[in-house]
Amino acid sequence: MLRRTQQAVKMKRGRDHWWHELVDGASSINEPAQLPSEHPLFILYTSGSTGKPKGILHTTGGYLTQVAYTSRMVFDLRDDDVYFCTADVGWITGHSYIVYGPLLNGATVMIYEGTPNHPQPDRFWDIIERHAVSIFYTAPTAIRSFMKWGEAWPAKHDLSSLRLLGTVGEPINPEAWMWYHDVIGQGRCPIVDTWWQTETGAIMISPLPGASTTRPGTATVPLPGVQADVVRKDGTTCAANEGGLLVVKHPWPSMLRTIYGNDERYRAAYWSEFPKRRGSPGWYFTGDGARRDEHGNIWIIGRVDDVVNVSGHRLGTAEIESALVSHLRVAEAAVVARPDEVKGNALVAFVTLKASATPTPALAEELRAHVAREIGPIAKPDEIRFTEMLPKTRSGKIMRRLLREIVTSGVATGDVTTLEDAGVLERLRAGEEE
């Protein structure tokens, strides 16, 4: 227990200890334990954004090898860099790219405990200016919040120390990518849009700054050594711009070794879709839908669970969300489906507006028409629900599973232990009742 205030703390003898009492008597030199490469390093539970959380087991040698390699390659780490990743240190991004990866490279790491809007919405920009941060790695959901709060907040600060920007957590829509590039990077900082998972342990798909041609909205191509592909259900590689399933065809150092205590669930969840067969050891199925464009770039469409059937048309909710966010008044959106007797599924869009916008029935109709123009009439949401906040995990992912439960049954009964703000569900339900 670290004493930061003088508040009384209830501690259990033999279990709880004061940090200062232990550290004061500790040696400043500690020899690391020598362990086999497959010795368990940590067990980390997935966010629960798609179902019951799973205890992902990572081991020592392979995990540390890949996070060290990707930290240096993707972030182009240099001796004089000050590196700032805004993730929660307790989640996989914090593990891999606050603690293990950067420190294995001897990087200077900026760690912040708190929210980006306290005491004011310029908290991150103030930190970057004061500490001359050169590399900034954050989530698309955070970027869309920055957009909502307005350009005036970053404009108050000198961000000239920045030389590289990164995104992680969800696919970034092109509008947010351009805002990040133009407003925060001031048009001069490369953006590394990284795709990876708790299960992969380390970045798998990402541009390399200075070496890759970036395009807003795509994580570009797999890193050297990673064999990822977009395939059909029969395992054949998809044609250019044909939607398919994202798989990894060859083992990689930082891959999860099992789901703790449940090897069978591990095999079923990740290896049953494309099992071992002649000429193939079996492929890892990421659970994501994707497409590869004519330049070879991989575009993440979203979780396969988030592809819905509306009147016989298969629609990716991520594409509809991107269309909504392209509207000048929209900061963030999450689209889910509810059962519909006629169409099979009806689309419900939860929309967070920018600070300057006011929710009205007329604006809801304007947004529906905007989606119809951007994608087509079939993709037009049946319902727009305005909300000040969306349910997110501490790592920044929108928990669409909870939104699906709300639009289907009116209550969210699934696991909510990873929800950042438990009160957001009550506010969403209250909004529905109103």
pLDDT tens digits along 42-93: 999 875 544 567 899 999 999 999 999 999 999 999 999 999 999 988 889 9
Which residues, other chains included, contact 68 with Cβ-Cβ below 8 Å and sequence gap of 6+? 100, 101, 104, 105
52 with 161, same domain? yes
CA distance 400 to 159: 34
Task: For residue 218, tell me if it sits in a domain.
Answer: yes
**pLDDT for residue 104:** 96
* Domains held by the chain: number: 2
For the domain that residue 400 is a member of, what is the CATH number? 3.30.300.30
As a dihedral over the C-alpha atoms of residue 123, residue 124, residue 130, residue 134, rounded to 10 degrees, the angle is 180
- Min mean pLDDT across 26-30, 45-49, 110-114, 138-142 is at 45-49
Q: Is the pLDDT of residue 279 over 70?
A: no
**pLDDT for residue 49:** 47
Mean pLDDT of the chain: 88
Closest CA to 197 of 54, 337, 39: 54
Percent of the chain with pLDDT strictly greater than 70: 89
398 with 253, same domain? no
Of 262, 289, 305, the residue that ends a domain is 305
Single-letter code of the amino acid located at 126: D
Query: β-strands 244-248, 284-292: how paired?
Result: antiparallel
Of 305, 339, 373, the residue that ends a domain is 305
Token duo for residue 240: 């250019």
62 with 141, same domain? yes
285 with 141, same domain? yes
Query: β-strands 307-310, 82-85: how paired?
Result: unpaired
**pLDDT for residue 306:** 65
Q: Is the pLDDT of residue 159 over 70?
A: yes
**pLDDT for residue 154:** 97
- CA angle at residue 203 from 99 to 421, to 5 degrees? 65
Q: How confident is the model at residue 371 (pLDDT cuts 50, 70, 90)?
A: very high
**pLDDT for residue 392:** 78
130 with 62, same domain? yes
Average pLDDT over residues 85-113: 94
- Min mean pLDDT across 56-70, 259-273, 339-353 is at 339-353
186 with 328, same domain? no
Q: Residue 306 — φ and ψ, nearest 5°?
A: -95, 15
**pLDDT for residue 434:** 42
Average pLDDT over residues 315-327: 85
292 with 317, same domain? no
Higher-pLDDT residue of 340, 100: 100
Task: For residue 2, tell me if it sits in a domain.
Answer: no
184 with 331, same domain? no
Task: For residue 12, tell me if it sits in a domain.
Answer: no
- CA angle at residue 83 from 78 to 85, to 5 degrees? 145
**pLDDT for residue 91:** 85
Average pLDDT over residues 243-267: 94
Q: How confident is the model at residue 254 (pLDDT cuts 50, 70, 90)?
A: very high
**pLDDT for residue 309:** 67
Written in H, E and C, the secondary structure of the chain is CCCCCCCCCCCCCCCCCCHHHHHHCCCCCCCCCCCCCCCEEEEEECCCCCCCCCEEEEEHHHHHHHHHHHHHHHHCCCCCCEEEECCCCCCHHHHHHHHHHHHHCCCEEECCCCCCCCCCCCHHHHHHHHHCCCEEEECHHHHHHHHHHCCHHHHCCCCCCCCEEEECCCCCCHHHHHHHHHHHCCCCCCEEECECCCCCCCCCECCCCCCCCCCCCCCCCECCCCCEEEECCCCCECCCCCCEEEEECCCCCCCCCEECCCHHHHHHHHCCCCCCECCECCCEEEEEEEEECCCCCEEEEEEHHHEEEECCEEEEHHHHHHHHHCCCCEEEEEEEEEEECCCEEEEEEEEEECCCCCCCHHHHHHHHHHHHHHCCHHHCCCEEEECCCCCEECCCCECHHHHHHHHHHCCCCCCCCCECCCHHHHHHHHHHHC
Task: For residue 403, tell me if it sits in a domain.
Answer: yes
**pLDDT for residue 420:** 59
Of 265, 289, 305, the residue that ends a domain is 305
Task: For residue 7, tell me if it sits in a domain.
Answer: no
Single-letter code of the amino acid located at 321: E
Higher-pLDDT residue of 399, 132: 132
Q: Is the pLDDT of residue 355 over 90?
A: no
Task: For residue 29, tell me if it sits in a domain.
Answer: no
Q: How confident is the model at residue 427 (pLDDT cuts 50, 70, 90)?
A: low
CA distance 213 to 296: 11
Higher-pLDDT residue of 177, 340: 177
Q: Is the pLDDT of residue 236 over 80?
A: yes
Q: Is the pLDDT of residue 163 over 90?
A: yes
317 with 277, same domain? no
Q: Is the pLDDT of residue 315 over 60?
A: yes
Stated pTM of the model: 0.78
For the domain that residue 240 is a member of, what is the CATH number? 3.40.50.12780
Q: Is the pLDDT of residue 347 over 80?
A: yes
**Enclosing domain of residue 420:** 311-433
Average pLDDT over residues 385-391: 86
Task: For residue 395, tell me if it sits in a domain.
Answer: yes
300 with 319, same domain? no
Average pLDDT over residues 407-425: 65
Task: For residue 422, tell me if it sits in a domain.
Answer: yes
290 with 389, same domain? no
331 with 249, same domain? no
